[in-house]
Structures are given as C-alpha cells and as structure tokens.
Amino acid sequence: MRIIAGQFRGRPLASLGKGDAGAHLRPTTDRTRESLFSVLQGGRFGDPISDARVLDLFAGTGALGLEALSRGAAHVTFVENGRKAQGLIAQNVKTLGVTDLVQVVRRDATRLGPCPGAPHDLVFLDPPYGKGLGERALDAAHAGGWIGNGALIVWEEGADIVLPHWCTIEDERDYGDTSITLIRAE
C-alpha cells in the first residue's frame, strides 16, 4: 500500500499483507482508493478535500484519511478501537511526519459521544462488511455533532446499506465486491 497522489505521493504505508480477518482489517486497495479520489476531485462535488476536516470512522490502517491529508485536507480524526489497527495508524502517521495534523480517537465508532471540537466536512466510513455497523456509527457521529451540515460521506460497504433519514445519496460506485456510496449530510 502507498499514498497515490499529492504531497506524499508514492510514500509506502505499513503493510498488512493479506489483511487480518480477526481484527476485521481489510484495507481499501490502491486501485479503489485511486478511483475514489478521482471521483471526489473530478469536479462534481466541488473540492471536498482541500482544507477539509476529515473524519475516518473504522480507520483501519488510516490509508483513506492519510490520502486526503496528502491531497490537501487540513486535519484528520481517525476513529479506531482495534489495537493492531491503532499501531498501523501510528506507524503510518509517524512515517509521513503528520502527527500535528491528526488525532486518533481510540473508541468504538458506534459509541462516539459528543465531538470535542468542530464538526467534520468529509467523512470516510469503512466498517466491517455486513454487520450493520455503518448505520450505527453514522447515527452516533451525527448525534454527537461530529458530522457538519452539508458534509460529504464516503461509505464503503460489501452489503446493502440503510441510509439515515438525514442524508441523501449523491453517487454510487461498485468496485468488485465493494460498493462505495457518496452521501450528503443535511
């Protein structure tokens, strides 16, 4: 895995090998990340990345949030409760030298509580597939004020999703067995 574009283009990220099913780590592939960021920066959504406050729920290795940081995001908050994933995020943050631009929240994404700072403009949501955790995490983030009004949410899932009543679908893309739904918080 590597950063695809931007300031840290080509920089390697900590390797997970084939993933860690026990820890539910299933990193978004470089190809899928590249396609996703091409869609995000293709003009249809304006510029959702530059100077954005990014929330990366179920952050795993942190690859999505770090890619956004490389492309001009101002700050990334990673939410991850797995120890192995937290270690990978810490390693990747250190490798890129961006400790002052990130915050790691060591908490279950479905039990966030109140947001300690300003709400986020761009949200990455990549829960373990088929467990309904994405819906619960979005509800918790919305209730706690983590998601800003008008924020763009990128939801990666391998099963059908139930859209919260406070969102509208902007776009949907399939990448093999992975579906990415872009939704707008209202």
Q: How confident is the model at residue 16 (pLDDT cuts 50, 70, 90)?
A: low
When divided into structural domains, the chain yields a total of 1
Give the per-residue pLDDT at 109: 96
Q: Is residue 9 part of a domain?
A: no
CATH number of the CATH domain containing 127? 3.40.50.150
End-to-end Cα spacing for the chain: 34
Q: Is residue 15 part of a domain?
A: no
Q: Is residue 180 part of a domain?
A: yes
Q: Is residue 139 part of a domain?
A: yes
> 180 or 30: whose pLDDT is higher?
180
| Closest to 59 in 3D by CA, of 29, 41, 81, 33 | 81
Q: Is residue 17 part of a domain?
A: no
Q: Is the pLDDT of residue 27 over 80?
A: no
- Structural domain boundaries, residue 89: 32-40+47-185
Q: Is residue 12 part of a domain?
A: no
Q: Is residue 27 part of a domain?
A: no
**pLDDT tens readout for residues 117-170:** 999 999 999 998 888 899 999 999 999 999 999 999 999 988 889 999 999 999
- Average pLDDT for 90-102: 96
Q: Is residue 74 part of a domain?
A: yes
Taking the model in full, what pTM does it have? 0.92
